[in-house]
Chains A and B, each alone.
Chain A
Amino acid sequence: AQSVAQPEDQVNVAEGNPLTVKCTYSVSGNPYLFWYVQYPNRGLQFLLKYITGDNLVKGSYGFEAEFNKSQTSFHLKKPSALVSDSALYFCAVRDQKKSSGDKLTFGTGTRLAVRP
């Protein structure tokens, strides 16, 4: 079984400050890890992914995430937050086993609020 935990329902940060949205995961095998963002009444937009290799991955809109295998974490970061980053962020995991197919398991989401 696979699972994802996003321990914070909401993260508040001032514009221009760095932001971190936390994510930990559990899979039986090796993970593929993803971050998605959702704006009101919209679907999910892909931000970035970890497949293998370098533990620091860079994605869209200046976001990056660090994969830490020993801590089973994949925290989302951005050096300088924008008001337009305010949205709902989801971390997701897929087991690399072929039997998992395309099934993604999502965390409960973290609402990011960036104040001007």
Chain B
Amino acid sequence: AQKVTQAQTEISVVEKEDVTLDCVYETRDTTYYLFWYKQPPSGELVFLIRRNSFDEQNEISGRYSWNFQKSTSSFNFTITASQVVDSAVYFCALRANTGNQFYFGTGTSLTVIP
């Protein structure tokens, strides 16, 4: 079975603080893909990143970074020096190599306070 858990329902930080959003996944497939999406207040989901199971290299993109650890089945997302525009709901998702479904977590609502 495939499953994504985002244990943090809501997080509030003060602007310029760093924040890490946790994502834990479950799958028996050896090949799979992990994603993060951002859903701003306007509602439209925006793709942030995709990682393959065979590539554990962490990635940094500006203020965003992702830590993929197969040993703990986690794919955590860190925002450095948060800004008010980062306020959104963030979803982690899993797509196994078998089947067509994307499995989404329930999301973490991030509020950045000015």
Partners in one complex: no
Q: Interface on B for A, CB 8 Å cutoff?
A: none
